[in-house]
Amino acid sequence: MFPQADFPDVLRGLSAPDDAAVVKLDDKQALVLTADFFAPIVDDPVEFGAIAATNALSDIYAMGARPILAINLAGFPKDMDPQILSDILRGGADKVLEAGAVVAGGHTTIDEEPKYGLAVIGLVDLDKIYRNEGAQAGDQLLLTKPLGTGVIATALKRGKASEPSIRDAIASMTRLSKVAVEVLKEAGGDAVHAVTDITGFSLAGHGHEMAALSGTALNLRLADLPVLEGTEDLLEQGIGSGGMDRNRDYYTQWVSTKANAESPRHRLIYDPQTSGGLLIAVGPEALDEILAAFDAAGEPVWHIGEVTEGPGGSITVD
């Protein structure tokens, strides 16, 4: 219904999938727009609000943009204490403020269970838009957050997650990608070839999409993947989400492995992430400078593999 040729100012969002829509504003800047919301995955309403807001803001950062404005999106049961909704909104507002943006209204509807998220608008220079395509053979792959939020969220619902695992997951899910993008802009420059954030479709799914759109393949080093505390132990106990199984059933057709495909760490490449990290493809010439810049900023990052020539969208796991 919306052919790209009829809407030339819509730079991302019509002809190819990406993390957010991008609309040309003038000769220098573009607006970046996204929306995301979901039901609680933790018990504390303030923490839930912070996680949901961080997750929505992540799509803006994945495009290289700066968030400027957010609108609350909420569903709430009519018979639940309204203080809980107030706490959820406060948790979200705290993260929006941390991002340097503002919450300017929103909409709440009656629902059977709480749901919360944001519609977010950001600004980006036209020549500095990050895309989930453009990775080149030889590029090095970086990841800015550990894997395992889907497993830990499932374990929490079943009363099986340890307090250290829960705290580690919440700390990761509420950490904005703001500093990571600032570091990339400063140290990466034109060597940053592709960026996407890892969310519901897992590292395998979002990695496949980046590789397919770029006409390249990915090689992931299993031993170098960062993992949240306790996640592998939970998988060994048989705790995993339905989303992990669905991702594995679908994306395994593009994945080949030299490792044990049934190992907990290998299964984590299919774990759906909430407010996951950025997957970044950078030219090898800039790798050391970028890693040093992340270290100097105190921002975590992991070097997890490389982009290779091969069937577009394929993933090899060592």
pLDDT of 167 above 90:
yes
Task: Please indicate, yes or no, whether residues 198 and 112 belong to a single structural domain of this protein.
Answer: no
**Does residue 92 share a domain with residue 169?**
no
What is the pLDDT, as a whole number, of residue 258?
Answer: 86
Locus of tokens 């500093």: 179
pLDDT for residue 260: 85
pLDDT recorded at residue 262: 87
Task: Indicate whether 100 and 179 sit together in one domain.
Answer: no
State residue 264's pLDDT score: 92
Contact 249, 270 (CB under 8 A): no
Q: Where among 128, 158, 188 does a domain terminate?
A: 128
Same-domain status, 149 and 119: no
Q: Is residue 134 part of a domain?
A: no
pLDDT tens digits along 251-271? 999 999 987 888 999 999 999
Residues 294, 192 within the same domain:
yes
* Same domain? 160 vs 301: yes
Confidence of residue 16 (pLDDT cuts 50, 70, 90): confident
Distance of CA 316 to the CA centre of its chain: 21
Mean pLDDT of 158-179: 97
The answer to whether position 305 is within a domain reads yes
| Dihedral over alpha carbons 153, 158, 162, 167 (to 10 degrees) | 30
% the chain with pLDDT above 70: 100
Residue 203 belongs to some domain of the structure:
yes
Please, what is the average pLDDT of the chain? Answer: 97
Which pLDDT belongs to residue 261? 86
Residue 254 belongs to domain with CATH number: 3.90.650.10
Is the predicted pLDDT of residue 169 greater than 90, yes or no? yes
Between 308 and 259, the more confident residue is 308
DSSP for 129-169, please give it.
---S----TTPEEEESS-B-HHHHHHHHHTT---HHHHHHH
Same domain, 256 and 302: yes
**What pTM was computed for the model?**
0.97
What digits encode the pLDDT tens for the residues 203-247? 999 999 999 999 999 999 999 999 999 999 999 999 998 999 999
If one counts the domains in the chain, the total is 2
| pLDDT tens per residue, range 57-71 | 999 999 999 999 999
Asked if residue 244 is part of any domain, the answer here is yes
Domain identity same for 8 and 154: no
Which of 93, 128, 163 lies at the terminal end of a domain, its last residue? 128
Share of the chain above pLDDT 90, in %: 97
Structure tokens, 161:
């997650």
Within-domain flag for 133: no
Q: If pLDDT is split at 50, 70 and 90, which confidence band does 38 have?
A: very high
Residue 80 belongs to some domain of the structure: yes
| Within-domain flag for 311 | yes
Over range 147-165, report the average pLDDT.
Answer: 96
* Three-state DSSP class for residue 208: helix
**Which pLDDT score is estimated for 74?**
98
Range(s) of the domain holding residue 223? 140-317
**Domain boundary, last residue among 68, 97, 128:** 128
Contact 103, 72 (CB under 8 A): yes
* Cα distance between residue 99 and residue 94, in whole Å: 9
Specify the pLDDT at position 297: 98
Claim to verify: residue 199 and residue 301 sit in the same structural domain: yes
Q: Are residues 107 and 185 in the same domain?
A: no
**Do 67 and 99 form a contact (C-beta atoms < 8 A)?**
yes
Q: Is 90 a member of any domain?
A: yes
Q: Does 111 share its domain with 10? A: yes
- Residue 77 phi, psi dihedral angles, 5° rounding: -65, 140
For residue 185, what pLDDT band results from cuts at 50, 70 and 90? very high
Where residue 183 falls among pLDDT bands split at 50, 70, 90?
very high
DSSP E strand boundaries for the chain:
10-12, 21-24, 29-38, 66-76, 102-110, 115-125, 140-143, 192-197, 217-220, 255-257, 278-282, 302-308, 315-317
CATH number at residue 41: 3.30.1330.10
Band the pLDDT of 184: cuts 50, 70, 90. very high
Structure tokens at 225: 């993947």
Arithmetic mean of pLDDT, 128-141: 98
pLDDT at 292: 98
* Residues 30 and 119 occupy one common structural domain: yes
Cβ atoms within 10 Å, residue 240: 21
Task: Indicate whether 34 pLDDT > 90.
Answer: yes
Identify any residues that bridge with 120 across adjacent strands, giving them in sequence order: 34, 70
